[in-house]
């Protein structure tokens, strides 16, 4: 192993991959096939004390255990993030073969840090993906993805653990906000635009690789529960609509998505093996590899093999649905046999090496996955230029142009649902605000302290949910009933009786609100927007153009009677899919 010819950038990538693969040990190959989280300090320094999410010092993870794909969660401001990335690449450069690190991230540009997303921080601020669905504008989505691509690459993020090509056909599902809605045709259009914005026409040194998820489509969850948790492990198809959920993935394949992530759920009652999709040979090899011919990287969702201990008695069990009785080694083997290339959220290279040494996994099987993983590193240009420029990160991320584009998108996503004729508000009326910033509202009217003194009230609420508090992860998922209840409903109805009220509801998932729609002078839906964006629409400084990306049911009984795999099928919806008003003359 004297000549390391894979560094010759003039040679075709397949040759460079084979050159490198031939020089790798089993241990180095096994390290490629895991994708755990990694941490940094608030100052952008490497963590070396065995702290942080991956439970290991950075140098030991990279140089000792041969791990070189990591998922970053917390990150400081862009300059410090970029400096951390360069320190990490310096560690990788000092290893035997100098294989650069690939960094991935969940969404980082939206307002809500719920489920699998992180707040925008130093990046530009955009509506949630469901808000991009409300614009129904593929060019806007492509522009967003191109801006996010530039900000990601500036700080050293190479893989987007998104888009979500899932369909929000079950309105109670907690992850609707990360989809483009419930219509497969619209989702297909926007998924393709999203991937082209991140990757370009083909994956290259300026791209961010998309790991499109969650194949073959999350969303049809029994009772709307999420398979992050054992009570939500079943995906059901009473409407015989399995293929409908594949449509956005077909668009992703056509757009060239580099990678795919299967979901946690297990299919029930449709003739496929009833195990989680990451373990599922029928789905990964049978449908993804053979039916669709997908030869990109397949990475499991996070934590299929081992439990995760947050400390303090808070343990997040492995999402080993349908294979709970298997040992960790047997789960790992089943994932590899299913056809997956990489295990998300796990760091078990030694276990995989032992499976090779014991003859249960062949080295040729590792080679098949490592070719795909190395190919993406080469296509992304990491071997040729692994470092980033902290000055450029500071200049580019969250720059005025990018922020202005995000702010316009926030406004374009807002949907006007009801208007009794008083919107847009005129002049500088006396305003009572509840849930919005009084300071922001003062730029639009005179803010008063009591409804009795106001000409109008403007109230903001999040869509209802049933809090769950059994653990850190579960508490971040907003699930359960969708209707306003009890004291909250009574307070809003009382406010609407006392003063003409404009209610704005953040629809991270559909809300059931027939009483409020009838009582309020105006009703708007937002999908991740600053107070100023909302107030601009209320006062007509920006005319509403958004359309509902999912229907709003009229009752919880109607929700329960819906088929979870079928779009817009509730009885007599309060507002149908695609509904949205504007202002006269707009």
> Does residue 452 share a domain with residue 391?
no
> Does residue 526 share a domain with residue 487?
yes
> Does residue 139 share a domain with residue 102?
yes
Note whether residue 313 is domain-resident: yes
pLDDT at site 116: 46
Note whether residue 195 is domain-resident: yes
Q: What is the CATH number of the domain that holds 268?
A: 3.20.20.300
- Count of domains forming the chain: 2
> Does residue 456 share a domain with residue 379?
no
Mapped to the 3 state alphabet, what secondary structure does 101-126 carry? CEEEECCCCECCCCCCCCECCCCCCC
Strand partners, 479: 466
pLDDT at site 113: 46
> Does residue 479 share a domain with residue 362?
no
Strand partners, 301: none
Tell me the backbone φ, ψ of residue 314, rounded to 5 degrees.
-95, 100
Total residue length of the chain: 586
Helices then strands (H, E): number in the chain? 19, 19
Note whether residue 580 is domain-resident: no
Cα gap 70→104, rounded to integer Å: 6
Nearest in space to 459 (alpha carbons), one of 443, 444, 437, 481: 437
* Residue spans of the chain under pLDDT 50: 1, 113, 115-116
Note whether residue 570 is domain-resident: no
Note whether residue 84 is domain-resident: yes
Last residue of a domain, one of 396, 431, 456: 396
Note whether residue 15 is domain-resident: no
Q: Residue 301 catalytic? A: yes
pLDDT at site 120: 54
Q: What is the CATH number of the domain that holds 469?
A: 3.40.50.1700
Give Cα 119 to chain centroid, integer Å.
Answer: 12
Last residue of a domain, one of 341, 365, 396: 396
Cα gap 483→485, rounded to integer Å: 6
Q: Is the link from the previous residue into 163 a cis peptide, with omega within 30 of 0?
A: yes
DSSP 542-578: S------SS-B-S-HHHHHHS-TTSSS--SS-SB-TT
pLDDT at site 471: 74
pLDDT at site 427: 97
Q: Which of 234, 301, 341, 376 is catalytic?
A: 301
Whole-model pTM: value is 0.96
> Between the CA of residue 122 and those of 110, 118, 155, 388, 423, what are the distances in Å?
12, 11, 11, 16, 34
Note whether residue 409 is domain-resident: no
> Does residue 208 share a domain with residue 81?
yes
> Does residue 285 share a domain with residue 371?
yes
> Does residue 425 share a domain with residue 347?
no
pLDDT at site 435: 97
> Does residue 390 share a domain with residue 418?
no
Cα gap 463→504, rounded to integer Å: 10
> Does residue 284 share a domain with residue 359?
yes
Cα gap 31→370, rounded to integer Å: 10
Note whether residue 408 is domain-resident: no
CA angle centred on 507, ends 106 and 433, rounded to 5°: 115
> Between the CA of residue 275 and those of 127, 299, 323, 328, 338, what are the distances in Å?
34, 16, 7, 15, 11
Domain that holds residue 520: 414-561
pLDDT at site 2: 55
Q: Which residues are CB-neighbours of 470 under 8 A, at least 6 positions away?
A: none
> Does residue 391 share a domain with residue 293?
yes
> Does residue 380 share a domain with residue 479?
no
């Amino acid at each position: 192993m004297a000549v390391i010819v894979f560094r010759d950038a003039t040679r075709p990538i397949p040759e460079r991959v084979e050159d490198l693969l031939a020089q790798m040990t089993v241990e180095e190959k096994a390290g490629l096939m895991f994708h755990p989280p990694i941490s940094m300090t608030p100052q952008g320094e490497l963590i070396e004390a065995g702290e942080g999410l991956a439970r290991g010092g950075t140098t030991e993870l990279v140089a000792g255990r041969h791990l070189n794909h990591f998922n970053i969660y917390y990150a400081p401001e862009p300059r410090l993030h970029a400096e951390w990335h360069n320190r990490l690449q310096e560690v990788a450069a000092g290893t035997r073969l100098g294989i650069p690190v690939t960094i991935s991230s969940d969404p980082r540009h939206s307002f809500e840090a719920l489920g699998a997303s992180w707040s925008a921080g130093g990046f530009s601020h955009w509506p949630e993906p469901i808000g991009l669905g409300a614009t129904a504008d593929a060019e806007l989505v492509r522009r967003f993805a191109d801006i996010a691509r530039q900000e990601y690459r500036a700080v050293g993020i190479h893989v987007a653990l998104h888009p979500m090509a899932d369909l929000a056909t079950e309105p109670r599902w907690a992850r609707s906000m990360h989809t483009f809605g419930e219509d497969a045709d619209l989702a297909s259009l926007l998924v393709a635009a999203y991937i082209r914005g991140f990757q370009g026409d083909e994956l290259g040194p300026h791209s961010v690789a998309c790991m499109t998820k969650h194949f073959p489509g999350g969303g049809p969850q029994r009772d709307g529960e999420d398979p992050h948790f054992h009570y939500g492990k079943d995906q059901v198809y009473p409407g015989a609509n399995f293929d409908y959920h594949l449509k956005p993935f077909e668009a992703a394949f056509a757009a060239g998505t580099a990678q795919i992530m299967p979901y946690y759920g297990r299919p029930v009652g449709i003739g496929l093996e009833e195990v989680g999709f990451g373990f599922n040979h029928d789905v990964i090899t049978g449908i993804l590899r053979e039916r669709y011919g997908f030869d990109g990287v397949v990475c499991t969702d996070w934590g299929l093999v081992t439990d995760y201990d947050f400390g303090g008695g808070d343990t997040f069990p492995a999402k080993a649905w349908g294979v709970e009785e298997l040992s960790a080694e047997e789960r790992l083997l089943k994932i590899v046999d299913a056809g997956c290339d990489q295990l998300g959220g796990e760091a078990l290279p030694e276990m995989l090496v032992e499976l090779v040494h014991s003859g249960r996994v062949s080295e040729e099987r590792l080679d098949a996955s490592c070719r795909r993983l190395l190919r993406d590193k080469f296509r992304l240009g990491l071997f040729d230029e692994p470092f980033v420029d902290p000055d450029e990160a500071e200049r580019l991320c969250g720059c005025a142009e990018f922020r202005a584009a995000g702010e316009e998108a926030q406004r374009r996503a807002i949907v006007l649902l009801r208007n009794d004729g008083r919107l847009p508000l005129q002049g500088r009326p006396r305003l009572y605000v509840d849930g919005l910033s009084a300071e922001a509202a003062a730029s639009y009217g005179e803010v008063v302290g009591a409804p009795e003194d106001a000409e109008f009230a403007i109230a903001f609420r999040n869509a209802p949910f049933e809090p769950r508090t059994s653990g850190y992860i579960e508490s971040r998922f907003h699930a359960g009933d969708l209707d306003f209840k009890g004291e909250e409903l009574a307070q809003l109805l009382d406010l609407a009786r006392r003063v003409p009220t404009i209610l704005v509801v953040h629809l991270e998932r559909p809300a059931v609100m027939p009483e409020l729609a009838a009582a309020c002078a105006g009703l708007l839906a937002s999908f991740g927007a600053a107070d100023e964006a909302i107030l601009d629409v209320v006062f007509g400084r920006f005319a509403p153009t958004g359309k509902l990306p999912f229907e709003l049911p009229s009752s919880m009984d109607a929700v329960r009677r819906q088929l979870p795999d079928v779009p817009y099928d509730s009885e007599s919806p309060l507002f149908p899919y695609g509904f949205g008003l504007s202002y006269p003359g707009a």
